[in-house]
Amino acid sequence: MNKLKKGDNVIVIAGKDKGKEGKVLLMLPDSNKLIIEKINLIKKHVKSTQDSDGGILEKEAPIHLSNVKLVAPGSKKATRVGFKVVKGRKTRVAKVTGDSLK
């Protein structure tokens, strides 16, 4: 079971976007990276084609898992993620508050 999932709210703890919050759009488990909404934006130069115009587009680049922390839903604080077995099922738990996560 992964500590972070698509749709989680996370905060960046290192890098140029330190302190910014966003929602996880895509997980890349092979490279231990994830893409966060409106975080780590890069400019991509795109050549025009028959279907679309060219130009300079802004898009999200992957960021390493070690540079983000989950935001606890109750307290809105950055937290680590732990695991607990409840009724025979393994669930994620916020270390700061002890609340279970979805």
Please report whether residue 100 resides in a domain. no
CB neighbour list of residue 58: distance below 8 Å, 6 or more residues apart: 41, 42, 43, 44
**Both structure tokens of 47:** 């050549």
Q: Is the pLDDT of residue 1 over 90?
A: no
Please report whether residue 52 resides in a domain. yes
Please report whether residue 71 resides in a domain. yes
Summarised one tens digit per residue, pLDDT across range 53-66 is 999 999 999 999 99
pTM value surpassing 0.85: yes
Number of domains observed in the structure of the chain: 1
Please report whether residue 2 resides in a domain. no
Domain coverage including residue 45: 9-94
Cα 90 from Cα 65, distance rounded (Å): 21
Cα 59 from Cα 95, distance rounded (Å): 32
CATH number where 36 lies: 2.30.30.30
